[in-house]
Chains A and B, each alone.
Chain A
Amino acid sequence: DAGVTQSPTHLIKTRGQHVTLRCSPISGHKSVSWYQQVLGQGPQFIFQYYEKEERGRGNFPDRFSARQFPNYSSELNVNALLLGDSALYLCASSSGTAKMGSNQPQHFGDGTRLSIL
Protein backbone atom coordinates (compact mmCIF):
# COMPACT_ATOMS: atom_id res chain seq x y z
CA ASP A 1 0.00 0.00 0.00
CA ALA A 2 1.18 3.50 -0.77
CA GLY A 3 2.24 5.66 2.13
CA VAL A 4 1.59 9.36 2.56
CA THR A 5 2.63 11.20 -0.58
CA GLN A 6 3.50 14.87 -0.79
CA SER A 7 4.13 17.12 -3.74
CA PRO A 8 6.24 18.77 -4.80
CA THR A 9 9.35 17.42 -3.07
CA HIS A 10 11.26 20.67 -3.46
CA LEU A 11 10.14 24.22 -4.17
CA ILE A 12 11.88 27.57 -4.45
CA LYS A 13 9.90 30.78 -4.03
CA THR A 14 10.67 34.44 -3.45
CA ARG A 15 9.46 36.67 -0.64
CA GLY A 16 5.87 37.84 -1.01
CA GLN A 17 4.78 34.96 -3.22
CA HIS A 18 2.27 32.31 -2.20
CA VAL A 19 2.63 28.55 -2.27
CA THR A 20 0.36 25.50 -2.28
CA LEU A 21 1.60 22.17 -0.96
CA ARG A 22 -0.31 18.95 -1.50
CA CYS A 23 -0.74 15.76 0.47
CA SER A 24 -2.41 12.43 -0.23
CA PRO A 25 -3.05 10.37 2.91
CA ILE A 26 -2.85 6.63 3.24
CA SER A 27 -5.94 5.02 1.76
CA GLY A 28 -8.69 4.88 4.38
CA HIS A 29 -7.18 7.57 6.60
CA LYS A 30 -9.54 10.47 7.20
CA SER A 31 -7.26 12.61 9.37
CA VAL A 32 -4.50 14.78 7.95
CA SER A 33 -2.09 16.96 9.91
CA TRP A 34 0.51 19.46 8.73
CA TYR A 35 3.81 20.28 10.41
CA GLN A 36 6.64 22.71 9.78
CA GLN A 37 10.20 21.62 10.50
CA VAL A 38 12.91 24.25 10.54
CA LEU A 39 16.46 22.97 10.17
CA GLY A 40 17.80 21.57 13.44
CA GLN A 41 14.45 21.51 15.24
CA GLY A 42 11.60 19.09 15.73
CA PRO A 43 8.44 19.44 13.65
CA GLN A 44 5.91 22.05 14.80
CA PHE A 45 2.17 21.42 14.45
CA ILE A 46 0.31 23.71 12.03
CA PHE A 47 -3.12 22.20 11.31
CA GLN A 48 -5.18 19.05 11.67
CA TYR A 49 -8.20 18.18 9.54
CA TYR A 50 -10.64 15.36 10.04
CA GLU A 51 -13.58 14.69 7.74
CA LYS A 52 -12.89 17.99 5.95
CA GLU A 53 -13.19 20.05 9.12
CA GLU A 54 -10.39 21.84 10.94
CA ARG A 55 -9.91 20.10 14.29
CA GLY A 56 -6.75 21.75 15.52
CA ARG A 57 -4.51 24.71 14.78
CA GLY A 58 -1.03 25.51 15.97
CA ASN A 59 0.52 28.87 16.71
CA PHE A 60 0.95 30.06 13.12
CA PRO A 61 -0.18 33.33 11.51
CA ASP A 62 -3.25 33.65 9.31
CA ARG A 63 -1.00 33.55 6.26
CA PHE A 64 -1.15 29.80 6.74
CA SER A 65 -4.35 28.05 5.69
CA ALA A 66 -5.36 24.55 4.71
CA ARG A 67 -8.26 22.51 3.49
CA GLN A 68 -9.22 18.89 3.06
CA PHE A 69 -11.07 17.51 0.07
CA PRO A 70 -13.81 14.84 -0.14
CA ASN A 71 -11.18 12.23 -1.01
CA TYR A 72 -9.32 13.25 2.22
CA SER A 73 -6.35 14.72 0.38
CA SER A 74 -5.24 18.08 1.67
CA GLU A 75 -3.59 21.33 0.66
CA LEU A 76 -1.54 23.72 2.75
CA ASN A 77 -1.44 27.30 1.51
CA VAL A 78 0.99 29.96 2.64
CA ASN A 79 0.58 33.57 1.50
CA ALA A 80 3.01 36.49 1.56
CA LEU A 81 6.02 34.23 2.02
CA LEU A 82 8.76 35.33 4.39
CA LEU A 83 12.36 34.16 4.58
CA GLY A 84 11.47 32.47 7.86
CA ASP A 85 8.98 30.21 6.10
CA SER A 86 11.88 28.26 4.64
CA ALA A 87 11.44 24.79 6.09
CA LEU A 88 10.46 21.20 5.51
CA TYR A 89 6.68 20.89 5.47
CA LEU A 90 5.42 17.51 6.59
CA CYS A 91 2.04 15.92 6.16
CA ALA A 92 0.82 13.07 8.35
CA SER A 93 -2.28 10.93 8.18
CA SER A 94 -3.90 8.68 10.74
CA SER A 95 -6.92 6.43 11.11
CA GLY A 96 -9.55 6.40 13.80
CA THR A 97 -12.30 8.71 14.93
CA ALA A 98 -11.93 11.94 16.81
CA LYS A 99 -12.31 10.04 20.05
CA MET A 100 -9.77 7.36 19.27
CA GLY A 101 -7.47 9.55 17.27
CA SER A 102 -5.13 10.64 19.98
CA ASN A 103 -3.84 7.10 20.35
CA GLN A 104 -3.50 6.29 16.66
CA PRO A 105 -0.01 6.53 15.17
CA GLN A 106 0.55 9.25 12.64
CA HIS A 107 2.13 8.26 9.35
CA PHE A 108 4.32 10.93 7.80
CA GLY A 109 5.30 11.68 4.26
CA ASP A 110 8.84 12.72 3.43
CA GLY A 111 7.85 16.35 3.15
CA THR A 112 8.18 19.29 0.82
CA ARG A 113 11.39 21.28 1.17
CA LEU A 114 10.44 24.96 0.69
CA SER A 115 13.19 27.51 0.16
CA ILE A 116 12.45 31.23 0.16
CA LEU A 117 14.89 33.55 -1.60
Chain B
Amino acid sequence: DAKTTQPNSMESNEEEPVHLPCNHSTISGTDYIHWYRQLPSQGPEYVIHGLTSNVNNRMASLAIAEDRKSSTLILHRATLRDAAVYYCILRDLAGGTSYGKLTFGQGTILTVHP
Protein backbone atom coordinates (compact mmCIF):
# COMPACT_ATOMS: atom_id res chain seq x y z
CA ASP B 1 0.00 0.00 0.00
CA ALA B 2 1.18 3.50 -0.84
CA LYS B 3 2.28 5.44 2.21
CA THR B 4 0.90 8.71 3.56
CA THR B 5 2.64 11.29 5.74
CA GLN B 6 0.77 13.55 8.15
CA PRO B 7 1.84 15.97 10.88
CA ASN B 8 1.69 14.40 14.34
CA SER B 9 -0.49 17.14 15.77
CA MET B 10 -2.28 20.38 14.96
CA GLU B 11 -4.21 22.93 16.97
CA SER B 12 -7.12 25.15 16.12
CA ASN B 13 -9.54 27.52 17.77
CA GLU B 14 -13.24 26.87 17.82
CA GLU B 15 -15.20 28.25 14.84
CA GLU B 16 -12.03 28.74 12.77
CA PRO B 17 -11.21 26.73 9.63
CA VAL B 18 -8.75 23.87 9.90
CA HIS B 19 -6.58 22.56 7.08
CA LEU B 20 -5.16 19.09 7.70
CA PRO B 21 -2.42 18.17 5.20
CA CYS B 22 -1.45 14.75 3.88
CA ASN B 23 1.45 13.84 1.60
CA HIS B 24 1.24 10.76 -0.60
CA SER B 25 4.02 11.14 -3.16
CA THR B 26 3.91 7.46 -4.24
CA ILE B 27 0.18 7.44 -4.99
CA SER B 28 -0.86 5.33 -7.97
CA GLY B 29 -3.49 6.18 -10.55
CA THR B 30 -6.05 3.83 -9.02
CA ASP B 31 -5.62 4.96 -5.41
CA TYR B 32 -8.53 6.79 -3.81
CA ILE B 33 -7.75 9.20 -0.98
CA HIS B 34 -9.86 8.46 2.09
CA TRP B 35 -10.07 10.33 5.38
CA TYR B 36 -11.28 8.86 8.64
CA ARG B 37 -11.30 10.34 12.10
CA GLN B 38 -11.37 8.75 15.53
CA LEU B 39 -12.92 10.57 18.43
CA PRO B 40 -11.83 9.63 21.96
CA SER B 41 -13.17 6.25 23.08
CA GLN B 42 -14.84 5.58 19.73
CA GLY B 43 -14.11 3.61 16.59
CA PRO B 44 -12.91 5.42 13.46
CA GLU B 45 -15.50 7.34 11.48
CA TYR B 46 -15.52 7.85 7.71
CA VAL B 47 -15.18 11.52 6.74
CA ILE B 48 -14.71 11.84 2.98
CA HIS B 49 -12.94 10.40 -0.03
CA GLY B 50 -11.91 11.45 -3.53
CA LEU B 51 -9.85 10.49 -6.57
CA THR B 52 -8.88 13.61 -8.54
CA SER B 53 -11.45 16.35 -8.09
CA ASN B 54 -12.13 18.30 -4.92
CA VAL B 55 -15.02 16.89 -2.90
CA ASN B 56 -17.47 18.38 -0.43
CA ASN B 57 -19.87 16.77 1.99
CA ARG B 58 -21.68 17.79 5.14
CA MET B 59 -18.67 17.04 7.30
CA ALA B 60 -15.73 18.47 5.38
CA SER B 61 -14.08 19.31 2.08
CA LEU B 62 -11.22 17.46 0.42
CA ALA B 63 -8.80 19.42 -1.74
CA ILE B 64 -6.57 17.26 -3.95
CA ALA B 65 -3.42 18.63 -5.58
CA GLU B 66 -3.28 18.54 -9.36
CA ASP B 67 -0.43 15.98 -9.30
CA ARG B 68 -2.30 14.02 -6.57
CA LYS B 69 0.81 13.82 -4.44
CA SER B 70 -0.84 15.68 -1.60
CA SER B 71 -4.29 16.48 -0.28
CA THR B 72 -5.87 18.64 2.41
CA LEU B 73 -8.87 17.91 4.58
CA ILE B 74 -10.72 21.14 5.35
CA LEU B 75 -13.01 21.59 8.31
CA HIS B 76 -14.72 24.88 7.61
CA ARG B 77 -15.63 25.80 11.19
CA ALA B 78 -14.02 23.66 13.84
CA THR B 79 -16.08 22.71 16.86
CA LEU B 80 -14.97 21.07 20.09
CA ARG B 81 -16.53 17.87 18.77
CA ASP B 82 -14.01 17.85 15.91
CA ALA B 83 -11.15 17.13 18.31
CA ALA B 84 -9.97 13.73 17.14
CA VAL B 85 -7.21 11.80 15.40
CA TYR B 86 -7.49 12.26 11.64
CA TYR B 87 -6.21 9.54 9.32
CA CYS B 88 -5.39 9.96 5.64
CA ILE B 89 -5.54 6.58 3.86
CA LEU B 90 -4.98 5.46 0.27
CA ARG B 91 -7.26 2.73 -1.05
CA ASP B 92 -6.61 0.89 -4.30
CA LEU B 93 -9.65 1.02 -6.57
CA ALA B 94 -8.72 -2.35 -8.00
CA GLY B 95 -9.26 -3.96 -4.59
CA GLY B 96 -8.14 -7.54 -5.00
CA THR B 97 -6.24 -8.84 -2.01
CA SER B 98 -6.40 -5.44 -0.34
CA TYR B 99 -10.15 -5.29 -0.76
CA GLY B 100 -11.22 -4.94 2.86
CA LYS B 101 -8.07 -3.43 4.21
CA LEU B 102 -7.56 0.09 5.50
CA THR B 103 -3.93 0.85 6.27
CA PHE B 104 -3.85 3.38 9.09
CA GLY B 105 -0.78 5.43 9.89
CA GLN B 106 -0.26 7.46 13.06
CA GLY B 107 -2.66 10.19 11.95
CA THR B 108 -2.86 13.81 13.07
CA ILE B 109 -4.11 14.63 16.55
CA LEU B 110 -6.31 17.71 16.23
CA THR B 111 -6.84 19.81 19.34
CA VAL B 112 -9.59 22.42 19.26
CA HIS B 113 -9.45 25.25 21.79
CA PRO B 114 -12.63 26.99 23.01
Contact = CB atoms under 8 A, between A and B. Distances in A.
A105 B46 contact: yes
B88 to A, nearest CB: 11
B103 to A, nearest CB: 7
A49 B43 CA distance: 19
A24 to B, nearest CB: 14
Given A99-B95, A102-B92, A102-B93, A45 B43 contact: no
**Which residue of A4, A35, A103 has the most chain B CB atoms within 10 A of its CB atom?**
A103
A90 B101 contact: no
A41 B42 contact: no
Nearest to B85: A42
B32 to A, nearest CB: 6
Interface stretch (B18-26, B73-81, B104-112): B104-112
Contact of B42 (A48, A50, A92, A110): A110
A4 B46 CA distance: 13
A31 B91 CA distance: 16
A107 B36 CA distance: 10
Given A42-B105, A55-B100, A106 B49 contact: no
Interface size band for B: 20 to 34
Contacts of A48: 99-101
Contacts of A100: 95
B49 A33 contact: no
B44 A90 contact: yes
B106 A43 contact: no
Contacts of A55: 99-100
Interface of B: 32, 34, 41-46, 49, 85, 87, 91-95, 97-107
The 9 lowest CB-CB distance pairs between A and B, nearest first, are: A48-B100, A42-B104, A108-B43, A105-B46, A102-B95, A33-B100, A45-B101, A56-B100, A108-B44
Given A56-B101, A90-B44, 11 more contacts: A31-B100, A42-B106, A48-B100, A56-B97, A92-B43, A92-B102, A101-B99, A102-B93, A102-B99, A103-B91, A106-B46
